[in-house]
Amino acid sequence: MDFKTLGLKVGLEIHQQLDTERKLFCHCPTILRTDDPIYIVERRLRPTPSEIGEVDVAALKEYMRGKTYIYQYYDTNCLVELDEEPPHLVSEEAKKIVAEVSLLLNSKIIEEIQVMRKTVLDGSNTSAFQRTMLIATDGSIETNSGSVSILSVCLEEDAARLINQDENTKTFRLDRLGIPLIEIATGPDISNPDQAKEAAYKIGQILRATGKVKRGLGTIRQDLNVSIKEGGRVELKGVQKLDMIPVWIQREIERQVALVSIMKQLNKRGSEKDLKFEFVPLTQIFVNTSSKIISNSIKKNGGVFGIKLNYFRDILGTEIQKGRRFGTELADHAKTYGLSGLFHIDELPNYGISQEEVNSIIAKLGVKDKDSFVIVAGKEDICHKALEEIYERCKKAFTGVPNETRDALEDGNSKYSRPLPGRARMYPETDILPFLFDDKLIDNIRENLPETFDERVTRFVSRYELKREEAERIVYESPELFEKVSKHLDIKPSIFIKTLDLSKNLEREEGYITEDEALYILFEKVSNGIIAKEGIEEVLKRVSKGEDIHKVLSEYSSITNNFDIEAAIDKIISDKREFIIEKGDRAISPIMGICMKEFRGKVDGSIINKILKEKINKVLKSSK
């Protein structure tokens, strides 16, 4: 791709949780919960006009979806998170950390800090807004492709965690709501996908250099703002994997290029003025249908409804991203109303829908050669809203790429989420007075800024005799824990790195973050020979499922001390005696595998190997 010719512009928004004792606007701890809540609260949220009388378009769209929001409440929450009590003063600890990050980003801290309310109506904030404050502006970082500007550094509260959702409800957990969050926004001057990845990595290095940010999956989130010359501005949310950033950007470029091509095709065929919204009931056509989706909907007192789309024949079947077509794009809009999707003429007959049924739809809607249709199944009011939104999206196809917010998918593609929010969503917080940063505090922070990433890597290479790639990995992931372990315990860097890898993989699978304190206790047991290094993975697997680290380690310790290892190995050798005699010395490796599986890492492999060799040699000598 020629990114310069395309006019590619990319901007980053990085959100990083801070590792503070208390939340931003109350004194609740910043811990996540996995147990059952004390009770739940149900609410509906409604948009209100801003101070200038405007209603934010994204907030209005969320309201129209008609969701009920359920909030899970714990004994580590308070009335501030339920929006039943005014916010407390801003956390002093969070203020100091964000000032430090601002200086590390070469940004200028503004004179007076005003807390603002930002309208959020997706249910993730009980108050229907997020509190945020602009801290610094006009910073910069350097990349191999040039300087990247830092437009703003903000301090804000994190949102509640989405636990599950269905057609009518969304359930959130209040443990994360209010955790201090730094938002760093770059300018749109990133010119290629690899530079975007590098910029995100550099900012991540700076954040971690403070030693005051949370680790683990979900504690840092990137949003990508992507546009091309003929396209629109699209915000990709939920970007969590650094290595995937170039893929998401390239797929978004492909999508926008495809939508521009679709726009040109449509304008050759006709005008958006020729599109008319006519909501037509089609249930009678499907009385004896073989389509399970449609028949199940009818049985649940639903129906089938459709609209005609002038000039859209073959457009809905056009691929716009790998494995995704324009029809998939429209289906994303339908799904925001709780529908399972839609059917369109370019993919029919299929899915149990016959050619005869297709012909009946064509006749009923008056579809001509260049026209298309879309049908959906469900309750009439929901289908009407969904088809109305699909119709509006098709009108926009005549003008190009809509400005919108999209959710990043794991395969590198993205799906529609909501319109881009407008300026009307921000207004002043009336419950908290503006505040100033003390000049002496800023001077003190400036004089005591932490080592840069490169400085710490160089020190680790020299002090701990690490390879540079090992040092970079440790410094980025968990330098404080590594130094503590190196000072007090006998743990090789290779074991430390392997444990970090295991921990991160389990975080992705189980969604549970293993804290540094638990990892240190584990390393301590390995260092003292209480558990084998082979047992690290098994311990982490159990801890990642919510088991207490002390309980798990006590089980391993008791087996190491009390279990008759030789007796267990004798039994295995007895069961495999014929196999050992047949294979001779070659039996050691497969029998070792059986023993390791038996002990599941609870006994050091070198101890097992030594005992095993001795006993197999005895068997072989006695068999001669």
In a domain, 57, yes or no: yes
Q: Last residue of some domain: 547, 562, 577?
A: 562
559 has pLDDT over 60 = no
Give yes or no: residues 172 and 239 share one domain. yes
Give yes or no: residues 594 and 470 share one domain. no
Q: What is the largest CA-CA distance in the chain?
A: 97
Q: Last residue of some domain: 240, 266, 292?
A: 266
Give yes or no: residues 369 and 326 share one domain. yes
Do 63 and 106 touch, CB atoms closer than 8 A?
A: no
Q: What is the DSSP string of 126-188?
A: TTSEEEEEEEEEEEEEEETTEEEEEEEEEEEEPPPEEEEE-SSEEEEETTSTT-EEEEEEE-S
In a domain, 508, yes or no: yes
Give yes or no: residues 243 and 190 share one domain. yes
Q: How many domains does the chain divide into?
A: 4
Give yes or no: residues 211 and 279 share one domain. no
Give yes or no: residues 261 and 276 share one domain. no
pLDDT for res 529: 76
Q: What distance in Å separates the CA atoms of residue 204 and residue 139, rounded to the nearest whole number?
A: 15
Give yes or no: residues 24 and 137 share one domain. yes
Neighbours of 539 (CB within 10 A): 27
In a domain, 428, yes or no: no
Q: What is the pLDDT of residues 414-423, one digit of tens each?
A: 999 988 876 6
Q: SS3 letters for 92-117?
A: HHHHHHHHHHHHHCCCEECCCECEEE
In a domain, 418, yes or no: no
pLDDT for res 558: 46
Q: What distance in Å separates the CA atoms of residue 399 and residue 260, rounded to the nearest whole number?
A: 8
Give yes or no: residues 369 and 457 share one domain. no
Least confident of 223-232, 508-517, 558-567: 558-567
pTM: 0.81
In a domain, 603, yes or no: yes
In a domain, 144, yes or no: yes
In a domain, 421, yes or no: no
Q: Last residue of some domain: 200, 232, 266?
A: 266
Q: CB neighbours of 261 closer than 8 A, spacing ≥ 6?
A: none
Q: What is the pLDDT of residues 28-54, one digit of tens each?
A: 999 988 889 999 999 887 766 665 566
In a domain, 410, yes or no: no
Give yes or no: residues 538 and 585 share one domain. no
Give yes or no: residues 341 and 377 share one domain. yes
Average pLDDT over residues 15-39: 94
Give yes or no: residues 569 and 554 share one domain. no
Predicted confidence band of residue 60 (pLDDT cuts 50, 70, 90): low
CATH code (residue 296) = 3.30.1360.30
The range of the structural domain enclosing residue 317 comes to 272-397
Give yes or no: residues 389 and 474 share one domain. no
